Amino acid sequence: MKGWQSLLCLSFMLMNVHTVLSDREGSKADTAPEEDTERKEKTDAEQRDELLLVIKNLQEEVKLLHENVDLLRMSDKDLEADLNITDQHTSGERRMNSRRKRTTSGSGGVYVRWGRALCPPSSDLVYIGIAAGPRHDERGGGSNYICLSSSPEYIDPFAGQQGDRSRIYSVEYQLADSHNDYLDNSDVPCAVCRARERTTVLMIPGRYSCPNGWQVEYNGFIVADKYTYYRTEFVCLDRYPTSRSTPQGDSLNSEMFLVEAMKSPNGGICPPYTDGYEVTCAVCSI
């Protein structure tokens, strides 16, 4: 584009040069004799030769510009071809990146956050649930806590309670003599979370912090059912729990009690743990 503009400017310059020559020829007859002494040292013939030389140089430049325009046209074609190749390469990279994002977006370690109905900012919520488990005075059924979905679905259910079944109950807090005793006898919420871009999740009992390089998803206290009841598993209850309901009184459902370290006659875990202290925990990811 710049080459065509330069060519147009040179054409105007040539026209101006011819106009100057014509004006000088026409003005010879009108020049008064008294102006002859004010003429420049160069004669009209010398000035005409200089102008002709300028015209010749301009003509050569015009010729060069024509050649440059042809080269620019060829360069434009080459550039267009290069852009097409680059565009194809970029499109290919975009497709690859899109596939990578789809692949990595589905990765991540999954864990249950007991005592809360939401996930930490570093994780995505999979679903909100209801903490459930076995009743503490029933010797059969499961022995672990599970996070039941808060949006149940059924497949051809039989109405009413059946005798030949196992049973599961909501979990209640039993947090007397603790900073969260106001939640005593209320139902425990839970959330299933996915740690983004971290594939390994580990619950560390006895610590509220994580090893170097690991990220704390949440921390709190180890809980399980009471030691005089039928056994359940140990899980990590969030340090700042919430409830699904207001306290309803002891309903003999599944329960969660804080766990404290105990000194045995042979020393046991105390030390290094302190006898009677509540055991902490941390859920860590990497």
Alpha carbon 154 to its chain's center: 36
d(CA 234, CA 206): 12
| The one-letter amino acid at 75 | S
> Helices H, strands E: what count in the chain?
2, 10
**Residue 24 corresponds to which amino acid?**
R
Contact 145, 205 (CB under 8 A): no
Question: Are 253 and 148 in contact, with CB atoms under 8 Å apart?
Answer: no
Give pTM, 2 decimals.
Answer: 0.61
- Burial of 27-55, coded b for 16+ CB within 10 Å and e otherwise, reads eeeeeeeeeeeeeeeeeeeeeeeeeeeee
- Beta bridge pairs of residue 220: 238, 281
Query: Could you give phi then psi for residue 155, rounded to 5 degrees?
Result: -125, 110
**pLDDT tens per residue across all 286 residues of the chain:** 444 455 455 555 555 545 544 554 554 445 445 555 555 555 777 777 777 877 877 777 777 676 666 656 655 565 565 556 445 545 555 654 544 444 345 678 999 999 999 999 999 999 999 999 998 888 888 889 999 999 999 999 888 888 888 889 999 999 989 999 999 999 999 999 999 999 999 999 999 999 999 999 999 999 999 988 888 899 999 999 999 977 776 667 889 999 999 888 766 788 899 999 999 999 999 9
Strand partners, 132: 146, 170
Q: How many angstroms separate the CA atoms of 105 and 99, rounded?
A: 10
